[in-house]
Amino acid sequence: MNTFGLLINGKEIEASAGAHFASYDPATGEVVGQFARARAADVMAAVSSARAAYEDVWRDVSATERGRLLQEVARRIRSQAERLAIDEARDCGKVLSQARNDVAVAVRYFEFFGSVATALHGEQIPVGPDVIDFTVREPYGVCAQINAWNFPLNMAARSLAAALAAGNTVVLKTPELAPYNTAVLGRIVTEAGLPPGVVNIVHGYGGEAGAALSGHPDVDLVTFTGSIETGRTVAASAAANITPCVLELGGKSPTVVFPDADLDEVAGRLARGFVEANGQSCDLPSLAVVHTDVHDEFVDRLVRRVEKFTVGPAGEDPDVGALISEAQRARVEGYLTAAVEQGARVVAGGGRPSRADLGSGWYVEPTVLVDVTPGMTVASEEIFGPVLCVVKFATEDEAVAIANGTAYGLAAFVWTRDLGRGVRLTRRIQAGQVYLNCFTSGDSVMIPFGGFKSSGYGREKGFEALRTYTQVKNICIFAR
Ligand code: NAD
């Protein structure tokens, strides 16, 4: 077991009140790490440290040097990738092969933003013959980042690398349910040579450290990843200081399956997709919208795959691991009970796994629900567990209405061989990312990511994130 302090001004220190909290392995309930518990006074110290580092050092560091430092962070993450993957599996229950992939993606974020740090530039505007007018993109200054627990290292890398590449300093609050690898990342950035105070990492609870950070008047930009409910609170407290906010919230991402799709391929990929991160990923395909002509055949292919999935501790690298907490399992089970009461039918899973030695973990079997209709709670709310809801449709308009029928708008997936129809749907579906005949887009660090509707606003990832983390200044020079 390891103990972590708060990373403030380049040093790991105890919280001012001397308190700690623990994180737990979802498969066993064992303690994974102990973390200093920040309260408002510690958050104030972290913001002051980030402010001083920005004013005194970081804003004068060239983009070339910032990029070089980020590449060094990438190199150091890669050199301890296996250790990080094993710890991620223990801390958040991510099955080992996915944890390995998360670490690889974290490396890519630092490589990508390290390589594009020098590529951000403004525009020249043709105001008139005697005027030189141009824009520059300047960092905001101090960024507050508050993250969720489902991709801890990956998500910390995503926000941190972009903010630093753009020239900001950061105070990052780790997710209290899985803070381990973000704490390790704090040590890695320090060892990589980032100046003290450029990255500050605080651990603690949302209502304490999180609220103190999002409402701090000396923060210049707040980036939040988490639930809609907390997003509202965070945005309101940032708004009180007129501080801009980026909100990456939840999703209920539909997969629309037309009869001409390769049903076997889609069933195979969808089965893998809805159990990613044990069903706890914001953009995974959790709602299947399937044409009536192929519904039964498709469900049959799907169920045959899901029934073969293994469930077990993340370190065994099964198909599905434990949920993050007992409360999360209770929440998922509540949704399953409500679904059956409202008329849905369980055709795979539906309970806890029977394997005798899994009793101490927070497991739910991978579950497929059919006879789901758009009015049901499970069709509209984010379950955040390994549960796929299948809804039928008959016409293209009906498919679009179901796909757009939730408050969310994060991702959508359309499967058809009819390119005209596919393109029409990519335009009609309201989501931040729409995929036609695929579930992912390869090297995803390069593409912008964010939501429509209640899934949030602002964009992380890709070059677009450099715009997110900078503000435009117009400079006008009059030749006299
Ligand atoms: P959550 O909203 O409970 O917590 C997220 C973070 O906010 C945590 O660090 C928490 O400590 C903090 N927090 C809680 N209350 C706060 C407050 N009053 N002020 C400031 N901070 C506060 O969410 P969660 O359960 O950790 O994560 C699950 C949710 O995150 C899901 O809805 C999921 O879809 C979403 N998510 C979105 C993305 C994305 O990129 N769109 C990625 C991952 C997860």
The CATH architecture one would assign to domain 2-249 is 3-Layer(aba) Sandwich (3.40)
* Ligand 1 centroid, distance to 149 Cα (angstroms): 7
With contact defined as beta carbons under 8 Å apart, do 23 and 188 qualify?
Answer: no
* Ligand 1 centroid, distance to 127 Cα (angstroms): 45
DSSP H stretches of helix in 117-249: 152-165, 180-191, 211-214, 228-240
Kindly state if the Cβ of 176 falls inside 6 Å of ligand 1. yes
Question: Sign of the C-alpha dihedral, residues 398, 281, 99, 95?
Answer: negative
302 phi and psi angles, rounded to 5 deg: -65, -50
With contact defined as beta carbons under 8 Å apart, do 241 and 214 qualify?
Answer: no
Helix axes 263-274, 295-306, angle to 10 degrees: 50
At residue 441, the pLDDT reads: 79
- Rounded distance, CA 172 to CA 232, Å? 19
Q: Which of 211, 259, 260 is nearest to 236 (CA)?
A: 211
- Rounded distance, CA 295 to CA 291, Å? 6
DSSP assignment of 311-346 equals B--GGG--SB---S-HHHHHHHHHHHHHHHHTT-EE
> If you take atom 42 of ligand 1, which residue's CA is the nearest one?
282
DSSP assignment of 363-383 equals ----EEEES--TTSHHHHS--
Of 230, 324, 460, the residue with max ligand 1 atoms within 8 A of its CB, to mutate for a pocket test, comes to 230
Is 282 annotated as catalytic? yes
State whether residue 235 is helix, strand or coil. Answer: helix
Kindly state if the Cβ of 152 falls inside 6 Å of ligand 1. no
List all residues 6 or more positions away from 210 whose beta carbon is below 8 Å from its beta carbon: 146, 173, 204, 230, 234
Per annotation, catalytic residue among 88, 176, 248, 460: 248
Class of domain 253-443: alpha beta
Burial class (CB in 10 A: 0-12, 13-18, 19+), 321: buried
* Ligand 1 centroid, distance to 161 Cα (angstroms): 20
* Ligand 1 centroid, distance to 286 Cα (angstroms): 19
Confirm whether 2-249 and 253-443 share one CATH topology. no
Kindly state if the Cβ of 211 falls inside 6 Å of ligand 1. yes
* Ligand 1 centroid, distance to 409 Cα (angstroms): 17
* Ligand 1 centroid, distance to 206 Cα (angstroms): 9
List all residues 6 or more positions away from 159 whose beta carbon is below 8 Å from its beta carbon: 143, 145, 147, 170, 172, 223, 225, 460
At residue 1, the pLDDT reads: 60
Kindly state if the Cβ of 248 falls inside 6 Å of ligand 1. yes
Kindly state if the Cβ of 214 falls inside 6 Å of ligand 1. yes
Is 297 annotated as catalytic? no
How confident is the chain (480 residues) per 10-residue block, as mean pLDDT?
93 97 96 98 98 98 98 98 98 97 98 98 95 97 98 98 98 98 98 98 98 98 98 98 98 98 98 98 97 98 98 96 97 98 98 93 97 96 98 98 98 98 98 96 90 98 98 94
Of 227, 278, 335, 406, the residue with max ligand 1 atoms within 8 A of its CB, to mutate for a pocket test, comes to 227
Q: Identity (one letter) of the amino acid at 68?
A: R
Is 464 annotated as catalytic? no
For the whole prediction, is pTM greater than 0.95?
yes
Per annotation, catalytic residue among 94, 173, 252, 392: 173
With contact defined as beta carbons under 8 Å apart, do 195 and 57 qualify?
Answer: yes
DSSP assignment of 272-312 equals HHHTGGGG--TTSEEEEEEEGGGHHHHHHHHHHHHTT--B-
Kindly state if the Cβ of 150 falls inside 6 Å of ligand 1. yes
Sequence spans of domains, the chain = 2-249, 253-443
State whether residue 216 is helix, strand or coil. Answer: coil
Is 173 annotated as catalytic? yes
Per annotation, catalytic residue among 208, 276, 365, 382: 382
Kindly state if the Cβ of 43 falls inside 6 Å of ligand 1. no
